[in-house]
Structure 1
Amino acid sequence: MDEAVLIWDTVVSSAAILTDDTDPRPWNERLEAAFSDAFTIDADSINGDLEALTKHIESFTQVQLPEWTKTLKREGARQFLVKLLGSGTYYRLELALKQDCAILAVALRRATRNLMPYAVAFDDLISALPSGQAHQLPVLTGTPRALLLLFIRLDRALEKLVTFSSTATLIRGRESEATPFELADLAILTERFRKIVSGRSRKAVTELSAALGRKIQGARDALDHSADPVTQAANSLIELLDRLLRAAFSDDEVIEWIGANYPHAKDLTYFDIKGAARKLRPTKKGQVLCFVYAGLAVDELSPLHELAATAVVTVRTQLQKLKHADMGTAEEAAEVAKHLNAIEGFLHLAISVAWASMPTERLDGLRVRLEPQKADKLTSSSINK
C-alpha cells in the first residue's frame, strides 16, 4: 500500500509541476528540482532504486490497480468505505482524489494536445506513401488523418476524468482545456496544427541553414503568388531535398553508413556506370535514411524510419513528374501543396524527434556542413563558454 501511495503521489506531483503555468523554468529543470527536494539521491544506488521503482510500478499497474478497480465497482463498495473510514474521512479522501484527478486530467489533456502537431506531421508524411505501404503500421487503418483521429478520441476519453474531478479541473487548467475536441472539427484541427508544423519546420531548417529555410518559404510563396506556381514550387522543394541530403552527408559517408547498418539492403545503393569505372553510390532512400538517423550507428532498425524514407522519395518523384508535366491546373497546385505538407512533416519529425538525442557536437557539425559560415560563430560560442 505504501508503495502504491508513493507511486501515485510521484505521478500526481510530477503532473502538477509540469502544468504549472507560473513556473518559467524548462520542464526538465522543474522535475530535477522537485525530485532533488523529495528524494535523497545516492549516485551509487540510483540504478538499483530505479530498478526497484520500475518493479513497483509494474506490480501496481498489473496487480493492485485492477484489483482495486474491481473492488470499487462492486455494489455497495462506496457505502462500505464510508462505514469503514467514517463519513468525514471518506469525503475528505474523495475530495483529495478529485483534486489529484484534476491535475492528471489537465496534464494528460495538455500532453495529448501537444502531441497533435506531431500526429498531423506524421499523417501528412504517411499520406505520401504508395498505396498499401501505410498498412504496415497497425495504428493506420487507411483512414485519412488516422493518427490525429486517435489523439482526438483520446482527448475525448479524458472527459470522464474531467467530469469526475468536476470544478477542480477548471481551477487547474486553462479555459481551452475544459472541453474536449469534437470529431466533427477534424478538418479545422488539421489546418490549425498543420500551421504549427509548418512554422516549426521552417524555423528548424532555417536554424540549420538560412538558404534552405528560404527554399521552403519560396515554395509556399510560389503557390500563393506566382503566375507559374506548380513548376516554381516543385523546383524549390526538389532543390531543398537534394541540397539538404547532399550537404549533410557525402556519398562516401552514406555508403559507409549503409554498409555498417543496412549491409543486406538492395534498394539503398546502385552502381553509377558513367565514366571509366563503376562507382557505388547511395540511392535517394539511402540518403534519406542516413539523414534521419543523423549518420549515427543504429542499435535497432526502425520500420518507421524506413517508411518515412520511402514517403520522402515518393514525394520527390511525384514533384519531378509535376514539374515536367505542368499544365497549370488547380489540381496540380493542390498536389504540390500536399507534397509540401509531407516534406514539412518529415523535416519536423526528423529534426525535432529523430535528432533529439543527437550529441551537441554532432549537431554543430551538421550545421557547419549545411552552412559553412556558421563555423566561426560556433567556434566563438565554444570559446566564450
Structure 2
Amino acid sequence: MSEADMQNPVVGDVQRSRFAEFARNLDPEIRTSLHFSDEAIAGADLLISFCRTVLDTDHPSPWQDRLGEFLEAFEDEGLQAGLEFTLAQLQDPEQAKAWLNTFKGLNYQAFALRLLGAGPYRLLVEAVKQDGAVLALVIRRGMRALMPFAVAWSDAVSNMTVNQRKAVAKADILGLEIVQGIIQLDDAFGKKVISTLPMQLTAATADDLAGWQPDNMPEIVASIRQRVGESSAKRLERENSQLVRKIQGARTALAHSEDGISQAANSLIELIDRIMREAFTKEEVLDWVGANLPDEPQLTYTDKDEKVQPNKRAEALCFIYRGGPTAREANEYDDGSGPTLLHDVFARVIVATRDRLQKLKHNDGGTPEEKEQLLCLLAGLEGALLLGLSINQFGNTQDALLEELDAKRFGATGNGR
C-alpha cells in the first residue's frame, strides 16, 4: 500500500482508520503473525471513523443525524464484531491496557520491523500515529466539553450548606474537585500524549493544542462560567423568554441600583417561583409525587386548612424530572427507588438557593461581601438550571443513540433483540 493511498481512505462520506486500511492490505499470514485479528481491525476502524465523524464540524448535519449513514458504511465489514471488540475494551480498561502494551513493547516492534521491512513498518507506525492523533483530539475536546458541566456542578453544589449536602446520599461525591481535576488531566494529557502525535494532520485548532495550565485555573473557570450563564439563558429562553429577563434584571440591579442586592435577590426568587409555577401546578406536582415518589420523605406538608401541599423540593424535583417517571433499573449501587443522586442534588440546590436569597433579601446591608455572595448564588442557580434541564435531554439522546446502535448491531446478523 502506498503512502498516498493512506492519506485519506474514505468509504461513502466516512473517513476511515489509517491503521485498519493498512492492516487489511497485509497478507493474512502476516496479519496473524502481528496479532491483527479481524475483530481488532474492525474495532479500530469503527472507533476512529466514529471519531472522524464527530470531528467533521464542516458537515451541514449534526453528527447524531449522520449516525445511521456512519453505521451503514460498516454493515458489510464486521460491524457486530467491531462493536463487540470495542465495547469489550471500553468495559475492561485493564485488558485494553495490556493489549496496547503488547504492541508498544520493544520486542514486538523489533519483530514487526523484521517481518514487514523498513518501508512498510514506517507506514504502519505513521498510520497508528495518525489514528492516535484523531483519537487524542476527540479525547481532549471531550474532556473540555465536560468543563461547563463541571463548573456548573461546582457552582451549584456550593450553594448548599454542609447539612444540606449530608442530606443527599453519597454526599462525598459532592466534595470532589472536578474542575481542578479536569484542568490537571488536560495539562498532563497535552504533555504526555498530544505533544507526541502529528496533530497537524487532524482538524485540531490552535485552542485545541494550547494546554490548560493549573496556574491559570481562575481565568479558565471565569471564562467557562460565562458560557454556563449563556447556555443556561438559552435553555430557559426555550421555556419562557420572560424568565431570562429575570436573570438579566438581577444582574442589572447589582450593577446600577443603590438597593441592588435586595432587588437582585427578589428577582431571582421570583424567577425560581415562576419556573416552578409555570411548569406544573401544585395539584400536578402532588399527583406526580404520589405516582412516583410515594415513600420519599419530606416532599409534602399540611397547610393551615389541613390540606396536603407539595413543598419546594417536590416542585423542584417534578421540574427537574419534567413530570416524567422516576423508575429505573436497580443495580448494586442504586435500588431504583427515590430520586437519582443528580436529580436530587439539583432540586435541593434550587431550594437551597431560594432559601439563601430570602435571607439576603431581608438582610441587605449593601456590603461587597453580600454582592459577592449573591453573584455566587446566581452562578450556582444558573449551573443547577443548566444541568437540571440537560439531564433528561441527555438521557433521551443517549437512548436514541443506543437504539440506533442496537438496530445496526443486531441487524448486521439478522438477529432480533
Which range, TM-score by smaller chain? 0.7 to 0.9
TM-score, length-scaled by structure 1: 0.83
The residue aligned with 1:30 is 66
- Distance in 2 between the 1:70 and 1:170 partners? 25
- Distance in 2 between the 1:60 and 1:201 partners? 36
- The structural deviation recorded for 1:225 is 1.4
- The structural deviation recorded for 1:293 is 0.3
- The structural deviation recorded for 1:54 is 5.2
Alignment counterpart, residue 281 of structure 1, candidates 309, 314, 318:
309
- The structural deviation recorded for 1:304 is 1.6
Report percent identity of matched pairs.
35
Question: What CA RMSD, in Å, does the superposition of the two structures yield over aligned residues?
Answer: 2.3
The residue aligned with 2:382 is 344
1:127-172 deviation line (CA, Å, top 9, x unaligned): 1121165573555445xxx22222223322432221231x334643
Alignment counterpart, residue 329 of structure 1, candidates 362, 367, 372:
367
How has the CA–CA distance of structure 1 residues 139 and 152 changed in structure 2, closer, same or farther, with 3 Å as cutoff?
farther
Contact kept in structure 1, 2:261 and 2:371, CA below 8 Å: yes
User: Tell me, what secondary structure is at the counterpart of 1:28?
Assistant: coil
1:235-283 deviation line (CA, Å, top 9, x unaligned): 000000011101111111111111122111221111112x3xx111111
Which runs of no fewer than 5 residues in structure 1 stay unpaired?
42-48, 360-385
- Distance in 1 between the 2:173 and 2:303 partners? 39
- Distance in 2 between the 1:225 and 1:178 partners? 40
- The structural deviation recorded for 1:32 is 2.5
- Distance in 1 between the 2:150 and 2:384 partners? 11
- Distance in 2 between the 1:213 and 1:280 partners? 32
The residue aligned with 1:379 is none
- The structural deviation recorded for 1:58 is 4.0
The residue aligned with 1:316 is 354
How has the CA–CA distance of structure 1 residues 232 and 257 changed in structure 2, closer, same or farther, with 3 Å as cutoff?
same
Aligned ranges for residues 218-297 of structure 1 at < 5 Å?
218-273=249-304, 275=305, 278-297=306-325
- The structural deviation recorded for 1:348 is 1.0
How has the CA–CA distance of structure 1 residues 213 and 59 changed in structure 2, closer, same or farther, with 3 Å as cutoff?
closer
Count of aligned residue pairs for this structure pair: 344
User: Tell me, what secondary structure is at the counterpart of 1:213?
Assistant: helix
- The structural deviation recorded for 1:338 is 0.7
- Distance in 1 between the 2:132 and 2:240 partners? 45
How has the CA–CA distance of structure 1 residues 217 and 358 changed in structure 2, closer, same or farther, with 3 Å as cutoff?
farther
1:286-342 deviation line (CA, Å, top 9, x unaligned): 110110000101123311211221121111111001111111111111111111111
The residue aligned with 1:12 is 48
The residue aligned with 2:223 is 192
Give the partner amino acid of 2:241: A
Alignment counterpart, residue 111 of structure 2, candidates 43, 59, 80:
80
1:190-213 deviation line (CA, Å, top 9, x unaligned): 110111111111122122112211
How has the CA–CA distance of structure 1 residues 206 and 259 changed in structure 2, closer, same or farther, with 3 Å as cutoff?
same
User: Tell me, what secondary structure is at the counterpart of 1:295?
Assistant: coil
User: Tell me, what secondary structure is at the counterpart of 1:281?
Assistant: strand
- Distance in 2 between the 1:134 and 1:185 partners? 29
More deviation in 182-191 or 123-132? 123-132
The residue aligned with 2:85 is 56
Aligned ranges for residues 85-234 of structure 1 at < 5 Å?
85-131=116-162, 134=165, 136-141=170-175, 146-159=177-190, 160-165=192-197, 167-169=198-200, 171-234=202-265
- The structural deviation recorded for 1:66 is 3.4
TM-score, length-scaled by structure 2: 0.77
Contact kept in structure 1, 2:346 and 2:388, CA below 8 Å: no
- The structural deviation recorded for 1:37 is 3.1
- Distance in 1 between the 2:195 and 2:108 partners? 21
- Distance in 1 between the 2:365 and 2:56 partners? 54
User: Tell me, what secondary structure is at the counterpart of 2:267?
Assistant: helix
- The structural deviation recorded for 1:119 is 1.1
More deviation in 18-27 or 190-199? 18-27
Contact kept in structure 2, 1:271 and 1:281, CA below 8 Å: yes
